[in-house]
Structure 1
Amino acid sequence: MSHNHSHVHIHKHEVQSKNLVYSIVLNLVITIAQLVGGIISGSLALLSDALHNFSDVLSLLFSLLAHKLSRKKATENITFGYKRAELIAAFVNASTLVIVAFILIYGAMERFFYPKPITSGLVIWLAVLGILVNGLSVLFLQKDAEHNINMKSAYLHLLTDMMASVAVLVGGLLMKFYGWYWVDSVMTIGIAIYLIVVGSKLLIQSTKMLMLFTPESIDIKELVKEVHKIPGVKKLHHIHVWNLNDEELHLEAHLDCSQNINMSEFNKLLEQIEHVLFDQFHINHINIQPEFKKEEDSKDTIVQD
């Protein structure tokens, strides 16, 4: 059984792992500062936020590990390498975003009904530190987040932390000058709802990629229609399209040729198909099995293997 497998080479955005390292160091600083501040001020809120930031450090470490693994070369036992490690990291990080959101809502509701006195001055200064640290971390990862789902999950963790620090700052100021302790709970719930929205979206996206769903940007019927316009193509069928990771979009299919051509002629036909699939659908890994009057093979577009 003959297969032709090709790769269309494209310029890839090179994700900078050093930006993750910088973010990890910065978040360790704010975690330690909040831990010390919480102990000194007796603020349970600061201690809880320190724990939250420490969970972000772990998430960033997980993202860094996944990024490093994804760059390891394939072997005979691991033929795809670890390219899907970043998808797993994105799935885990998105899951923790949603879980943390519900924990925040529970804590906010409890604090709303049972408010506790807080040393607002220390809270304000640590909130400013949190905004600066997380804001800088967000800037480090912003560009990479546009190209990589793993980096996007880490970016969202940090962006939410920055927003939480803004909420803590506003809440601290209102508590200091007006005694409005309920503001902290209201803003926390607002941030948690935002966290559920963005976290759920990322969770669904990473789940679809892990489950090898056809990317939303690909219309299989349109793809087949365009390939069928190429002379020499009778029917493209038995099609699978999936993301291996953010950078690699794969297509696997059977191609029923209109004539009994030799391999050199098929290579020319394949080259035309590659250009159509890459230029119009951004598919850069193509594996096509050529056929001619193979009647026992199903000619359905989608076949359950």
Structure 2
Amino acid sequence: MISILLNIVITAAQVVGGLISGSLSLLSDALHNFSDVLSLIISFIANKLSSKEASVSKTFGYKRAEIIAAFINAASLIVIAVLLIKEAVHRFLNPQTIDSTLVIWLAVLAIIGNGFSVLLMKADSKTNMNMRSAYLHLFTDMLASVAVLIGGLLMKYYQLYWVDSVLTAGIAIYLIVVGYDLLKSSFNVLMLFTPHDIVIKDIVETVCKIKEVKNIHHIHIWQLNELEVHLEAHVEFYENISLSEFDEVLTKIEKVANDEFNINHINIQPEFNRKDPKDIIVQD
């Protein structure tokens, strides 16, 4: 909430300053700051929703809310970046005189405000995709403000007004790079793709080392969010074991899955001489 309020103030100041000074890089930074406000609001709401309890109509609760927020924020970064590049090219071909003093002071204001917000979110950004999306918005905006400050100094002392357009394009390209990485990560989670650090072949080999297990097949692995990785599979046994014996084997599977693959939710269907496809991956 502190970051949201700070960015509203910074955005308003940069819009007014950009219009008065004629600086495109300052306006682009203001646009990026405005996207920060929206992304922070989305992240804030998603964070609150994710803590709501599950119910009979929402058995997973709202745990995916933060992943959706990360996806929206990443997509917005890329869209904004493309618009900035388009405008930067136009301004580069048609350079304008800019009030560099105003640009410099507003860039300093943005650096201080965004720098404080970045420090507030740094710790949580390491463990939460939603917080990382908000952190990236703020961190890239702080870097953008540094670039605007450098551009303002070059314009003030060397009258290099084309620098404004070049800096805008550079900021936009950086936004695309960081935005794409986050977009891909959140998209993979939403599409129920297997986490990139889990090799299904290794899971099969590990589980099959348990002496009672004949094979493991029909496997699905997905992330619900950044804290929960789920595995469901069919496990065929050599013998027609009892439920109590199955529970013992299940405990072993849960242990290796958690210890070696960081999978913390297991759902196993036990089988004995069942006539079903034994492929590791079966299309439902």
Match of 2:283 in 1: 304
- Counterparts of 1:187-226 in structure 2, within 5 Å, are 187-226=167-206
Identity over the aligned pairs, expressed in percent?
A: 63
Please state how far the C-alpha of 1:39 moved relative to its aligned partner.
5.3
Q: Distance in 2 between matches of 1:35 and 1:301?
A: 56
- Counterparts of 1:97-136 in structure 2, within 5 Å, are 97-136=77-116
- Counterparts of 1:73-84 in structure 2, within 5 Å, are 73-84=53-64
Q: Is the 1:63–1:154 Cα contact (8 Å) retained in structure 2?
A: yes
| SS at structure 2 position matched to 1:23 | helix
Q: 1:130 to 1:236 in 2, by over 3 A?
A: same
Q: Which runs of 4+ in 1 moved over 4 A?
A: 39-45
Aligned pair partner of 1:137 in 103, 117, 126: 117
| SS at structure 2 position matched to 1:268 | helix
Q: Once the two structures are superposed, what CA deviation does each residue of 1:237-265 show, in whole Å capped at 9, x if it has no partner?
A: 11000000000000000111121111111
Q: Which amino acid aligns with 2:271?
A: E
Please state how far the C-alpha of 1:208 moved relative to its aligned partner.
1.0
| SS at structure 2 position matched to 1:65 | helix
Match of 1:268 in 2: 248
Q: Distance in 1 between matches of 2:99 and 2:26?
A: 10
Q: Distance in 1 between matches of 2:150 and 2:195?
A: 41
Q: Distance in 2 between matches of 1:150 and 1:264?
A: 41
Q: Distance in 2 between matches of 1:269 and 1:119?
A: 73
Could you say what the CA RMSD is over the residues aligned between the two structures, in angstroms?
1.5
Q: Distance in 2 between matches of 1:257 and 1:84?
A: 35
The answer to whether 1:242 aligns with 2:222 is: yes
Q: Distance in 2 between matches of 1:203 and 1:140?
A: 23
Aligned pair partner of 1:251 in 231, 252, 259: 231
Q: Is the 2:213–2:238 Cα contact (8 Å) retained in structure 1?
A: yes
155-164 or 25-34, which moves further after superposition? 25-34
Please state how far the C-alpha of 1:38 moved relative to its aligned partner.
3.9
Aligned length: 284
Q: Which amino acid aligns with 1:218?
A: I
Q: Is the 1:250–1:284 Cα contact (8 Å) retained in structure 2?
A: yes
Please state how far the C-alpha of 1:55 moved relative to its aligned partner.
2.2
Q: Is the 1:69–1:85 Cα contact (8 Å) retained in structure 2?
A: yes
Q: Is the 2:95–2:161 Cα contact (8 Å) retained in structure 1?
A: yes
Aligned pair partner of 2:67 in 64, 84, 87: 87
Q: TM-score, normalised by structure 2?
A: 0.96
Q: Distance in 2 between matches of 1:34 and 1:272?
A: 59
Q: Which amino acid aligns with 1:159?
A: F
Q: Is the 1:167–1:184 Cα contact (8 Å) retained in structure 2?
A: no
Q: Once the two structures are superposed, what CA deviation does each residue of 1:48-71 show, in whole Å capped at 9, x if it has no partner?
A: 533431221011100111111111
Q: Is the 2:24–2:88 Cα contact (8 Å) retained in structure 1?
A: no
The answer to whether 1:182 aligns with 2:162 is: yes
Q: Distance in 2 between matches of 1:117 and 1:50?
A: 19
Please state how far the C-alpha of 1:170 moved relative to its aligned partner.
0.5
| SS at structure 1 position matched to 2:103 | helix
| SS at structure 1 position matched to 2:220 | strand
| SS at structure 2 position matched to 1:160 | helix
170-179 or 198-207, which moves further after superposition? 198-207
Q: Is the 2:220–2:281 Cα contact (8 Å) retained in structure 1?
A: yes
| SS at structure 1 position matched to 2:142 | helix
Q: Distance in 2 between matches of 1:39 and 1:197?
A: 28
| SS at structure 1 position matched to 2:248 | helix
